[in-house]
Copies of this chain bind each other. A is one copy, B any other.
Amino acid sequence: MADEHLKQYLMTPGPTPVPPAVSQVMAEPMLYHRAPAFIEIYATVLRRLRPVFGTEGDVLVFSCSGSGAMESAVANLVRPGDHALVVSCGKFGERWAELCDAYGAATVHHDSGWGNKVEPADVERLLGENSDIKVLFTTLSETSTGVVNDVQGLAEVAHAHGALIAIDAVSAVGAVPVCQDEWNLDVVAAGSQKALMAPPGLGFVSASEAALAYAAERPGGRYYFDWQKTLKGQRADQPDSPFTPAVGLIRALEVALGLIEQEGVEEVFERHRLLGSAARAAAGGLGLQLFGPEDEAANVCTAIKLPEGIDGAKVPKLMRERHGITIAGGQGKLKGKICRIAHCGYFGKFDILTVVAALEMTLQELGHEGELGAGVAAAQRVFLDAGVTSGASA
Protein backbone atom coordinates (compact mmCIF):
# COMPACT_ATOMS: atom_id res chain seq x y z
CA MET A 1 0.00 0.00 0.00
CA ALA A 2 1.07 3.52 -0.71
CA ASP A 3 1.92 5.83 2.17
CA GLU A 4 -0.82 8.42 1.86
CA HIS A 5 1.37 11.08 3.47
CA LEU A 6 4.08 10.84 0.82
CA LYS A 7 4.65 14.11 -0.99
CA GLN A 8 3.18 13.64 -4.47
CA TYR A 9 4.73 14.48 -7.85
CA LEU A 10 2.75 14.30 -11.09
CA MET A 11 5.19 13.39 -13.87
CA THR A 12 2.93 12.05 -16.61
CA PRO A 13 2.66 13.29 -20.20
CA GLY A 14 -0.99 14.22 -19.68
CA PRO A 15 -2.61 15.30 -17.54
CA THR A 16 0.51 17.27 -16.73
CA PRO A 17 1.14 19.40 -13.64
CA VAL A 18 -0.88 22.62 -13.66
CA PRO A 19 0.84 25.83 -12.48
CA PRO A 20 -0.73 27.19 -9.26
CA ALA A 21 -1.87 30.39 -10.98
CA VAL A 22 -3.75 28.26 -13.51
CA SER A 23 -5.46 25.96 -11.04
CA GLN A 24 -6.31 28.76 -8.64
CA VAL A 25 -8.28 30.78 -11.17
CA MET A 26 -10.76 27.91 -11.29
CA ALA A 27 -11.60 28.59 -7.65
CA GLU A 28 -13.01 31.98 -8.70
CA PRO A 29 -16.79 32.36 -8.86
CA MET A 30 -18.46 31.08 -12.02
CA LEU A 31 -19.07 33.47 -14.91
CA TYR A 32 -21.98 33.54 -17.33
CA HIS A 33 -20.57 32.66 -20.73
CA ARG A 34 -22.35 35.52 -22.50
CA ALA A 35 -21.37 38.20 -19.97
CA PRO A 36 -18.73 40.73 -21.04
CA ALA A 37 -16.27 39.52 -18.39
CA PHE A 38 -16.18 36.04 -19.95
CA ILE A 39 -16.34 37.20 -23.57
CA GLU A 40 -13.14 39.15 -22.97
CA ILE A 41 -11.39 36.09 -21.52
CA TYR A 42 -12.63 33.96 -24.41
CA ALA A 43 -11.34 36.47 -26.97
CA THR A 44 -7.96 36.52 -25.25
CA VAL A 45 -7.76 32.72 -25.36
CA LEU A 46 -8.63 32.66 -29.05
CA ARG A 47 -5.89 35.22 -29.72
CA ARG A 48 -3.25 33.54 -27.57
CA LEU A 49 -3.81 30.10 -29.10
CA ARG A 50 -2.64 31.25 -32.54
CA PRO A 51 1.10 31.57 -31.87
CA VAL A 52 1.37 28.15 -30.23
CA PHE A 53 -0.24 26.64 -33.33
CA GLY A 54 1.90 28.76 -35.62
CA THR A 55 -1.11 30.15 -37.39
CA GLU A 56 -2.81 33.44 -38.08
CA GLY A 57 -6.08 31.60 -38.61
CA ASP A 58 -8.78 30.59 -36.18
CA VAL A 59 -8.13 27.88 -33.62
CA LEU A 60 -11.46 26.22 -32.89
CA VAL A 61 -12.16 25.38 -29.26
CA PHE A 62 -14.32 22.45 -28.17
CA SER A 63 -15.25 21.20 -24.71
CA CYS A 64 -13.85 17.68 -25.04
CA SER A 65 -10.66 15.68 -24.69
CA GLY A 66 -7.91 15.66 -27.32
CA SER A 67 -9.56 12.62 -28.87
CA GLY A 68 -12.68 14.72 -29.39
CA ALA A 69 -10.57 17.21 -31.33
CA MET A 70 -9.24 14.33 -33.46
CA GLU A 71 -12.80 13.11 -33.98
CA SER A 72 -13.83 16.54 -35.19
CA ALA A 73 -11.18 16.28 -37.91
CA VAL A 74 -12.54 12.94 -39.10
CA ALA A 75 -16.19 13.97 -38.70
CA ASN A 76 -15.61 17.10 -40.81
CA LEU A 77 -13.34 15.59 -43.48
CA VAL A 78 -14.51 12.00 -43.97
CA ARG A 79 -17.83 10.79 -45.39
CA PRO A 80 -18.76 7.10 -45.51
CA GLY A 81 -16.92 5.42 -48.36
CA ASP A 82 -14.25 8.11 -48.63
CA HIS A 83 -10.69 6.90 -48.97
CA ALA A 84 -8.45 7.98 -46.11
CA LEU A 85 -4.81 7.23 -45.34
CA VAL A 86 -3.62 6.76 -41.78
CA VAL A 87 0.10 6.44 -41.16
CA SER A 88 0.75 5.67 -37.52
CA CYS A 89 3.72 4.93 -35.30
CA GLY A 90 2.08 4.26 -31.93
CA LYS A 91 -1.10 4.06 -29.94
CA PHE A 92 -2.44 7.50 -30.74
CA GLY A 93 -1.76 7.19 -34.45
CA GLU A 94 -3.87 4.03 -34.40
CA ARG A 95 -6.71 6.11 -32.97
CA TRP A 96 -6.93 7.91 -36.33
CA ALA A 97 -7.58 4.54 -37.98
CA GLU A 98 -10.25 3.63 -35.44
CA LEU A 99 -11.89 7.01 -36.02
CA CYS A 100 -11.81 6.69 -39.81
CA ASP A 101 -13.28 3.20 -39.56
CA ALA A 102 -16.01 4.45 -37.19
CA TYR A 103 -16.95 7.09 -39.77
CA GLY A 104 -17.18 4.50 -42.52
CA ALA A 105 -14.04 5.42 -44.43
CA ALA A 106 -12.24 3.06 -46.76
CA THR A 107 -9.19 3.34 -44.51
CA VAL A 108 -5.69 2.51 -45.69
CA HIS A 109 -3.70 2.10 -42.48
CA HIS A 110 0.08 1.84 -42.58
CA ASP A 111 1.82 1.09 -39.28
CA SER A 112 5.35 2.46 -39.36
CA GLY A 113 6.12 0.53 -36.18
CA TRP A 114 5.93 1.76 -32.61
CA GLY A 115 9.01 3.82 -31.84
CA ASN A 116 9.80 4.54 -35.49
CA LYS A 117 9.24 7.79 -37.30
CA VAL A 118 6.77 8.01 -40.14
CA GLU A 119 8.82 7.98 -43.35
CA PRO A 120 7.88 10.42 -46.11
CA ALA A 121 8.87 7.73 -48.62
CA ASP A 122 6.17 5.41 -47.26
CA VAL A 123 3.58 8.13 -47.52
CA GLU A 124 4.76 8.91 -51.06
CA ARG A 125 4.35 5.25 -52.05
CA LEU A 126 0.97 4.83 -50.36
CA LEU A 127 -0.49 7.97 -51.90
CA GLY A 128 0.93 6.92 -55.27
CA GLU A 129 -0.78 3.55 -54.98
CA ASN A 130 -4.12 5.00 -53.81
CA SER A 131 -5.06 7.99 -55.89
CA ASP A 132 -8.54 8.14 -54.32
CA ILE A 133 -7.12 9.24 -50.98
CA LYS A 134 -8.12 12.77 -50.11
CA VAL A 135 -6.83 13.08 -46.54
CA LEU A 136 -3.73 11.83 -44.74
CA PHE A 137 -4.06 11.47 -40.97
CA THR A 138 -0.85 11.23 -38.99
CA THR A 139 0.91 12.25 -35.80
CA LEU A 140 3.26 15.05 -34.83
CA SER A 141 4.13 13.92 -31.31
CA GLU A 142 3.31 10.27 -30.61
CA THR A 143 2.90 10.38 -26.83
CA SER A 144 3.01 6.60 -26.46
CA THR A 145 6.62 6.41 -27.69
CA GLY A 146 7.99 9.96 -27.59
CA VAL A 147 8.52 10.06 -31.36
CA VAL A 148 8.15 13.48 -33.00
CA ASN A 149 7.58 13.28 -36.75
CA ASP A 150 8.68 15.63 -39.50
CA VAL A 151 5.18 16.70 -40.46
CA GLN A 152 6.48 19.48 -42.69
CA GLY A 153 7.98 16.85 -44.98
CA LEU A 154 4.82 14.74 -44.80
CA ALA A 155 2.70 17.77 -45.70
CA GLU A 156 4.76 18.33 -48.84
CA VAL A 157 4.21 14.75 -49.93
CA ALA A 158 0.49 14.89 -49.19
CA HIS A 159 0.01 18.12 -51.10
CA ALA A 160 2.02 16.85 -54.06
CA HIS A 161 -0.65 14.15 -54.32
CA GLY A 162 -3.53 16.58 -53.83
CA ALA A 163 -4.34 15.28 -50.37
CA LEU A 164 -4.96 17.24 -47.20
CA ILE A 165 -2.95 16.46 -44.08
CA ALA A 166 -4.42 16.32 -40.58
CA ILE A 167 -2.09 15.87 -37.64
CA ASP A 168 -2.51 14.89 -34.03
CA ALA A 169 -0.48 17.46 -32.14
CA VAL A 170 -2.18 16.86 -28.78
CA SER A 171 1.07 16.60 -26.84
CA ALA A 172 3.13 18.69 -29.27
CA VAL A 173 1.44 22.07 -29.15
CA GLY A 174 3.31 24.21 -26.64
CA ALA A 175 6.24 21.76 -26.37
CA VAL A 176 7.79 21.70 -29.84
CA PRO A 177 7.43 24.09 -32.77
CA VAL A 178 4.18 23.70 -34.68
CA CYS A 179 4.30 26.05 -37.66
CA GLN A 180 0.95 25.37 -39.21
CA ASP A 181 0.95 28.21 -41.72
CA GLU A 182 4.62 27.87 -42.71
CA TRP A 183 4.47 24.08 -43.01
CA ASN A 184 1.07 24.11 -44.76
CA LEU A 185 -0.59 21.82 -42.27
CA ASP A 186 -4.28 21.58 -43.06
CA VAL A 187 -5.53 20.40 -39.69
CA VAL A 188 -3.79 20.50 -36.33
CA ALA A 189 -5.67 18.82 -33.46
CA ALA A 190 -4.64 19.38 -29.86
CA GLY A 191 -5.74 19.32 -26.24
CA SER A 192 -5.43 21.45 -23.14
CA GLN A 193 -3.87 18.99 -20.71
CA LYS A 194 -0.35 18.51 -21.99
CA ALA A 195 2.18 21.20 -22.88
CA LEU A 196 -0.46 23.92 -22.63
CA MET A 197 -0.39 23.45 -18.85
CA ALA A 198 -4.16 23.50 -18.37
CA PRO A 199 -6.47 20.79 -17.03
CA PRO A 200 -7.98 18.23 -19.40
CA GLY A 201 -11.34 19.02 -20.99
CA LEU A 202 -10.61 21.33 -23.93
CA GLY A 203 -9.85 20.20 -27.47
CA PHE A 204 -8.56 22.40 -30.28
CA VAL A 205 -8.62 22.23 -34.04
CA SER A 206 -6.80 24.64 -36.25
CA ALA A 207 -7.98 24.11 -39.82
CA SER A 208 -6.62 25.75 -42.96
CA GLU A 209 -8.98 27.58 -45.31
CA ALA A 210 -8.59 24.62 -47.69
CA ALA A 211 -9.65 22.18 -44.97
CA LEU A 212 -12.56 24.40 -43.91
CA ALA A 213 -13.78 24.65 -47.51
CA TYR A 214 -13.39 20.89 -48.02
CA ALA A 215 -15.40 20.21 -44.86
CA ALA A 216 -18.10 22.70 -45.80
CA GLU A 217 -18.70 20.72 -49.00
CA ARG A 218 -19.36 17.63 -46.88
CA PRO A 219 -22.07 18.58 -44.38
CA GLY A 220 -23.96 16.25 -42.05
CA GLY A 221 -23.08 13.40 -39.73
CA ARG A 222 -21.83 15.80 -37.05
CA TYR A 223 -23.19 18.59 -34.87
CA TYR A 224 -21.23 19.17 -31.67
CA PHE A 225 -17.93 18.88 -33.55
CA ASP A 226 -19.04 20.77 -36.65
CA TRP A 227 -16.36 23.27 -37.61
CA GLN A 228 -18.67 25.79 -39.30
CA LYS A 229 -20.89 26.01 -36.25
CA THR A 230 -17.96 26.72 -33.95
CA LEU A 231 -16.22 29.00 -36.44
CA LYS A 232 -19.34 31.13 -36.83
CA GLY A 233 -19.52 31.65 -33.06
CA GLN A 234 -15.84 32.43 -32.70
CA ARG A 235 -15.81 34.88 -35.62
CA ALA A 236 -18.73 36.90 -34.24
CA ASP A 237 -18.04 40.41 -32.96
CA GLN A 238 -18.60 39.08 -29.47
CA PRO A 239 -17.02 35.64 -29.76
CA ASP A 240 -19.31 32.91 -28.51
CA SER A 241 -19.43 29.16 -28.44
CA PRO A 242 -22.40 27.33 -29.99
CA PHE A 243 -22.66 25.27 -26.79
CA THR A 244 -22.04 26.32 -23.19
CA PRO A 245 -18.24 26.41 -23.02
CA ALA A 246 -16.28 24.93 -20.10
CA VAL A 247 -15.99 28.35 -18.48
CA GLY A 248 -13.58 27.34 -15.72
CA LEU A 249 -11.25 25.53 -18.11
CA ILE A 250 -11.24 28.49 -20.50
CA ARG A 251 -10.25 30.74 -17.60
CA ALA A 252 -7.48 28.29 -16.65
CA LEU A 253 -6.28 28.22 -20.25
CA GLU A 254 -6.23 32.00 -20.43
CA VAL A 255 -3.82 32.07 -17.49
CA ALA A 256 -1.71 29.22 -18.87
CA LEU A 257 -1.42 30.83 -22.30
CA GLY A 258 -0.51 34.07 -20.54
CA LEU A 259 2.38 32.28 -18.84
CA ILE A 260 3.55 30.96 -22.22
CA GLU A 261 3.25 34.45 -23.72
CA GLN A 262 5.29 35.90 -20.85
CA GLU A 263 8.00 33.24 -21.06
CA GLY A 264 8.00 33.59 -24.86
CA VAL A 265 6.99 30.81 -27.25
CA GLU A 266 10.55 30.33 -28.53
CA GLU A 267 11.88 30.20 -24.97
CA VAL A 268 9.24 27.63 -24.09
CA PHE A 269 10.38 25.43 -26.98
CA GLU A 270 14.02 25.94 -25.92
CA ARG A 271 13.17 24.84 -22.39
CA HIS A 272 11.54 21.68 -23.74
CA ARG A 273 14.59 21.09 -25.94
CA LEU A 274 16.86 21.28 -22.91
CA LEU A 275 14.64 19.02 -20.80
CA GLY A 276 14.42 16.44 -23.60
CA SER A 277 18.17 16.52 -24.05
CA ALA A 278 18.71 16.00 -20.32
CA ALA A 279 16.21 13.13 -20.17
CA ARG A 280 17.96 11.33 -23.03
CA ALA A 281 21.34 11.90 -21.39
CA ALA A 282 19.97 10.51 -18.13
CA ALA A 283 18.91 7.31 -19.89
CA GLY A 284 22.46 6.95 -21.17
CA GLY A 285 23.87 7.66 -17.72
CA LEU A 286 21.60 4.96 -16.29
CA GLY A 287 22.98 2.55 -18.86
CA LEU A 288 19.54 2.17 -20.42
CA GLN A 289 18.50 2.44 -24.04
CA LEU A 290 16.01 4.82 -25.51
CA PHE A 291 12.94 3.30 -27.13
CA GLY A 292 13.32 4.49 -30.67
CA PRO A 293 16.08 6.57 -32.19
CA GLU A 294 18.06 9.27 -30.42
CA ASP A 295 16.34 12.35 -31.81
CA GLU A 296 16.93 15.98 -30.95
CA ALA A 297 13.34 16.77 -31.90
CA ALA A 298 11.84 14.30 -29.40
CA ASN A 299 11.25 16.82 -26.66
CA VAL A 300 7.77 15.95 -25.45
CA CYS A 301 8.44 12.78 -23.49
CA THR A 302 11.32 10.33 -23.41
CA ALA A 303 10.60 6.61 -23.62
CA ILE A 304 13.26 4.47 -21.98
CA LYS A 305 13.56 0.70 -22.39
CA LEU A 306 13.44 -0.98 -19.01
CA PRO A 307 16.21 -3.48 -18.28
CA GLU A 308 15.44 -7.11 -19.07
CA GLY A 309 15.29 -9.27 -15.99
CA ILE A 310 13.13 -6.95 -13.95
CA ASP A 311 9.36 -6.89 -13.85
CA GLY A 312 8.84 -3.67 -15.79
CA ALA A 313 5.16 -3.36 -14.97
CA LYS A 314 6.20 -2.80 -11.37
CA VAL A 315 8.20 0.33 -12.14
CA PRO A 316 5.36 2.90 -12.25
CA LYS A 317 3.61 1.15 -9.34
CA LEU A 318 6.67 1.19 -7.09
CA MET A 319 7.58 4.73 -8.03
CA ARG A 320 4.13 5.86 -6.99
CA GLU A 321 3.77 3.75 -3.88
CA ARG A 322 7.29 4.13 -2.46
CA HIS A 323 8.27 7.51 -3.78
CA GLY A 324 5.05 9.41 -4.48
CA ILE A 325 6.03 9.88 -8.11
CA THR A 326 3.42 9.20 -10.77
CA ILE A 327 4.97 8.42 -14.15
CA ALA A 328 3.58 6.74 -17.23
CA GLY A 329 4.71 3.27 -18.17
CA GLY A 330 4.19 1.73 -21.59
CA GLN A 331 0.76 1.53 -23.19
CA GLY A 332 -0.71 -1.42 -25.05
CA LYS A 333 2.03 -3.64 -26.45
CA LEU A 334 4.71 -1.64 -24.60
CA LYS A 335 3.24 -2.29 -21.16
CA GLY A 336 6.04 -3.35 -18.80
CA LYS A 337 8.68 -2.71 -21.46
CA ILE A 338 9.25 1.03 -21.23
CA CYS A 339 8.75 3.92 -18.91
CA ARG A 340 8.18 7.47 -20.08
CA ILE A 341 9.75 10.59 -18.61
CA ALA A 342 7.42 13.46 -19.37
CA HIS A 343 8.68 16.95 -20.08
CA CYS A 344 5.77 18.66 -21.76
CA GLY A 345 4.33 21.66 -20.05
CA TYR A 346 5.02 22.88 -16.56
CA PHE A 347 8.30 20.99 -16.09
CA GLY A 348 11.71 22.25 -15.05
CA LYS A 349 15.25 20.94 -14.50
CA PHE A 350 14.61 19.56 -11.05
CA ASP A 351 11.55 17.64 -12.18
CA ILE A 352 13.82 15.71 -14.53
CA LEU A 353 16.40 15.15 -11.79
CA THR A 354 13.67 14.02 -9.40
CA VAL A 355 12.13 11.49 -11.73
CA VAL A 356 15.52 10.15 -12.78
CA ALA A 357 16.62 9.81 -9.15
CA ALA A 358 13.42 7.95 -8.31
CA LEU A 359 13.86 5.69 -11.34
CA GLU A 360 17.40 4.82 -10.23
CA MET A 361 16.20 3.94 -6.74
CA THR A 362 13.25 1.93 -8.08
CA LEU A 363 15.42 -0.09 -10.45
CA GLN A 364 17.74 -0.96 -7.57
CA GLU A 365 14.76 -1.99 -5.48
CA LEU A 366 13.74 -4.32 -8.30
CA GLY A 367 17.18 -5.93 -8.34
CA HIS A 368 18.75 -4.11 -11.27
CA GLU A 369 22.41 -3.31 -10.75
CA GLY A 370 23.41 0.20 -11.60
CA GLU A 371 25.29 3.09 -10.15
CA LEU A 372 23.08 5.38 -8.09
CA GLY A 373 23.30 8.97 -9.25
CA ALA A 374 24.71 8.18 -12.68
CA GLY A 375 21.56 9.17 -14.55
CA VAL A 376 21.12 12.25 -12.39
CA ALA A 377 24.71 13.29 -13.05
CA ALA A 378 24.30 12.94 -16.81
CA ALA A 379 21.25 15.19 -16.74
CA GLN A 380 22.97 17.69 -14.44
CA ARG A 381 25.85 17.85 -16.93
CA VAL A 382 23.42 18.79 -19.73
CA PHE A 383 21.92 21.56 -17.63
CA LEU A 384 25.32 22.92 -16.58
CA ASP A 385 26.63 22.83 -20.14
CA ALA A 386 23.60 24.79 -21.27
CA GLY A 387 24.62 27.54 -18.86
CA VAL A 388 22.84 28.97 -15.90
CA THR A 389 21.16 31.72 -17.87
CA SER A 390 20.04 29.68 -20.85
CA GLY A 391 16.84 27.86 -20.09
CA ALA A 392 16.62 29.71 -16.81
CA SER A 393 12.95 29.10 -16.43
CA ALA A 394 13.55 25.36 -16.72
Contacts and interface: CB of A to CB of B under 8 A. Distances in A.
Given A246-B201, A247-B200, A224 B67 contact: yes
Each complex incorporates copies of this chain amounting to: 2
Nearest to A223: B102
13 contacts: A10-B31, A10-B32, A20-B27, A23-B248, A26-B199, A63-B201, A66-B244, A67-B244, A71-B223, A99-B223, A103-B221, A104-B220, A200-B248
Contacts of A222: 102
A16 B32 CA distance: 8
Given A67-B243, A68-B63, A223-B71, A201 B249 contact: yes
Given A26-B27, A30-B18, A222-B102, A248 B245 contact: no
A346 to B, nearest CB: 9
Interface string A291-322: 00000000000000000000000000000100
A98 interface: yes
Interface in A70-123: 71, 74, 98-99, 102-104
B30 A27 contact: no
A334 B99 CA distance: 40
Contacts of A220: 102-104
A23 B27 contact: yes
A64 B67 contact: no
Contacts of A200: 33, 63, 244-248
B29 A23 contact: yes
A205 to B, nearest CB: 13
A35 B102 contact: no
Interface in A239-261: 242-249, 252
A184 interface: no
A384 to B, nearest CB: 29
Given A71-B224, A102-B223, 7 more contacts: A10-B31, A10-B32, A23-B26, A63-B65, A66-B243, A102-B220, A201-B201
Contacts of A24: 27
Given A23-B26, A27-B24, A35-B326, A15 B71 contact: no
Contacts of A225: 224
Contacts of A51: none
A29 B27 CA distance: 12
Given A64-B68, A223-B71, A31 B17 contact: no
